[in-house]
Amino acid sequence: MKITNLSTLILAIFSLVFLNSCKNEEKQSTSSSEENTAEEEVSTENSTEEVPVVLFFGTSLTAGLGLDTAEAYPALIQKKMDSLGMDYSVVNAGLSGETTASGLNRLDWVFKQNVDILVIELGANDGLRGVALEETRSNLEEIIKIAREKNPEVKIILAGMQIPPNMGEEYTSEFRSLFPELAKEYDLELIPFLLEGVAGDPELNQQDGIHPTAEGQQILANNVWEVLKDDVQ
């Protein structure tokens, strides 16, 4: 995906605001995690073994930081499937401040239930913090491999991300290419850019300029559904 000068500028602004809000996001991660855990436990208890599980494993974008969890895109996906009479249980395993490394360490908790479809939304925090691309790639590869060990039949969808050129043109380009490369190598389905149509738009982001509003989350849900729909039909 080519990035125009305008979109590059927008992403640069997006990154600067992210770096300023990063500490606040991490402070909220503990309480957000506790809330998500409680809700996910209820979701798991209420679901039966016969109901396939779609698990969204990601960052604050998935957790819906700053919003009611019912407004986050995983909940919107659940509503979409319910309206279509699709018998699936959605689990929101998003956590604010999550990196690929911390995500890898959290896998035992994530796979407490059987997972039929796994949507991985990890890597953005790595890129915006300048984590070595080799480390990000390795962590994502381990997550993919472990998921398939847990359930060889699991369908995996990888959410692509982009970052501004703050870390240099080479790093930015390689980061953007990381997701389609992994998708091709491991035969995954790919959401080209989760924040397509939302990143950099002040009308679709909260005051921090990072996290989507409820309306922005609806666009994220549409971006995800375009790929997910073929796996749940």
Give CA–CA dist 94/117, Å, rounded: 15
Catalytic residues: 60, 208, 211
* Cβ–Cβ < 8 Å for 217, 226: no
Strand-pairing partners, residue 56, are: 92, 119
